[in-house]
Amino acid sequence: MKHPFQLILSTGNLLFTATKNELYVFDLKSGNKIGEWIDTFDSTETIKEKVKKEQERQLKENESKKSKTESLEEDEPTKKKRKSNNSEPKIPTPGEGAPTIYNYIRSLKLSNDEKSLIIITDSDKSGIVFKLDLSNKNNGNILKLIKRQPFPKRPNVIVTSNDDSEIVMGDKFGDVYKIQINDPELKKLDSESDPLLGHVSMLTDLIVTKQDNDQEFIITTDRDEHIRISKFPSSFIIDKFLFGHESFISNIVIPKFNNNQLLISGGGDNFITLWNWVKGEELDRFQLDDLIKPHLNELHLTPSRFQNEENNLKEYCVSKIVALEKINSIAVLIESTNQLFIIKISDNFQKLELDKSIQFDSNIVTITASYEKVFVGLDNDSNLLTSIDIETREIDQSNDIINKVQENYSVEVNSRDEFYPLYTTYQLRKRSEH
């Protein structure tokens, strides 16, 4: 059976998909596979290097300790033989019962000019930039790797700056770095490098945008309910916070309509919020409870440690919001459900209003939108991908291209047990005990 797509991204003409460590590009005119890249990075070398560094540090520390004690007890003959410490560093192997390490592609993003693709790999904690070389369409691969920049901590989200000259990356430690794309040198980043800005919490989403007057801003969100707006690139000036969320934030979107002034945010709360981020105003809150409660399943049960006696406590979270530019709407996905909500931004961009709720045969893994279509990645044995026409908000019934894409996609597994994690957003929920 085929592994469901973990991530999809579409421009309208192209469809990018990521599954495990494999990245594919499909042509949406023909359904042909026109690009592929597989992350073959072997992490043992970097781990080896790290272990060696740590070993050296410890040796140094022991040495200085020893020299201290020795100077105190100089008369004592040192009977103990020193271990020869020049042995090769051992690569630690996870013991039995250790959680599986999944090295997958964590994020797919396009540059603003749609000429580059930026992804995150878990294996070496890198941000990777590909140039899309469409002239190479017929030779099989339009992806041309131009930069692979490792980061000190695992990147969580990556975008390009407004002029596409830099990549801006936020990591799980809460720090944001920016790197020149065209600089052929890789930047040496370590724990001592100064980030652009930082939260004391995991960074969950990030947008670099600008206002009409060309003033640029960087908007960052974290697990601690914060949406922070700082100036860019002088990000030491915090402009404002958007307060209102009571649980983690997983997604923010700035649609292009209404001059980039709107922002929609969602996450662990039972609502999504519409903001005018330029004014710092909350415009509307859209409650999800009534809509989604009938569609929750056993995947939404609260973990046993936090469960009630009746064992019926359920939690859900928003895992993806995408803007539908053509119809002034957004599509909202609640994790591990088979529903997709199309929500209209109505009343002169002041209100969120349900337009349509679309049901699928199986749970939705991920979504993406182009100008004309919403593409939906499904957790299904036979049908992994489907599309919705934005004009009619109907599922496309006969879709040869989509079928062809599925035919040409071939990440095979033997059973569901071999699936990589498809639903991960819920892990962001905070569970404090003291």
Partner 1 sequence: MSEIIKQEKKLNRNELQKLQSENYAKRQNYRQEREELRKNLKHVRIDQEFLTNDKENNDNDKIELPKKRFYRQRAHSNPFSDHRLEYPISPNHMDWSKFYPYYYDEINNKMNKQVTIADIGCGFGGLMVDLSPEFPNNLILGMEIRVQVTNYVEDRIIALRQQNLNNDSTNYQNINVIRGNAMKFLPNFFQKSQLEKIFFCFPDPHFKQRKHKARIVTNTLLSEYAYVLKEGGIIYTITDVLDLHEWMVKHLDQHPLFERLDEVFEKNDKCVEIMTYSTEEGKKVERNKGQKYIKCYKRLPNP
* Residues lying near partner 1 in the complex (CB under 8 A): 173-175, 191-192, 194-195, 197-201, 224-226, 230, 234-238, 240-241, 243-246, 430-434
Residue 430: CB minimum distance to partner 1, A: 4
What three-state secondary structure class fits 426?
Answer: helix
Judged by beta carbon, residue 13 or residue 58, the one nearer partner 1 is 58
Residue 273: CB minimum distance to partner 1, A: 12
Residue 236: CB minimum distance to partner 1, A: 5
Judged by beta carbon, residue 384 or residue 428, the one nearer partner 1 is 428
Q: Which of 210, 205, 229, 233 is nearest to 219 (CA)?
A: 229
List the strands of the sheet with 281-287, edge to edge. 249-253, 262-267, 271-276, 281-287
H or E element at residue 218: strand 216-222
Judged by beta carbon, residue 173 or residue 286, the one nearer partner 1 is 173
Taking the C-alpha atoms of residue 65 and residue 32, their distance in angstroms, rounded to an integer, is: 64
Distances (CA, A) of 50 to 63, 122, 375: 20, 16, 41
Buried b (16+ CB within 10 A) or exposed e, 407-433: eebebeeeeeeebbebbebbebbeeee
Residue 235: CB minimum distance to partner 1, A: 7
Residue 246: CB minimum distance to partner 1, A: 6
Judged by beta carbon, residue 195 or residue 377, the one nearer partner 1 is 195
Asked if 373 and 380 count as a contact pair (C-beta separation under 8 A), the reply is no
Judged by beta carbon, residue 238 or residue 313, the one nearer partner 1 is 238
Q: Which of 256, 268, 375 is nearest to 317 (CA)?
A: 268
Residue 199: CB minimum distance to partner 1, A: 8
What sign does the dihedral 122-123-127-130 (CA atoms) show? negative
Judged by beta carbon, residue 80 or residue 434, the one nearer partner 1 is 434
CA dihedral 312, 315, 316, 317 (to 10 degrees): 180
Taking the C-alpha atoms of residue 286 and residue 263, their distance in angstroms, rounded to an integer, is: 13
Judged by beta carbon, residue 63 or residue 246, the one nearer partner 1 is 246
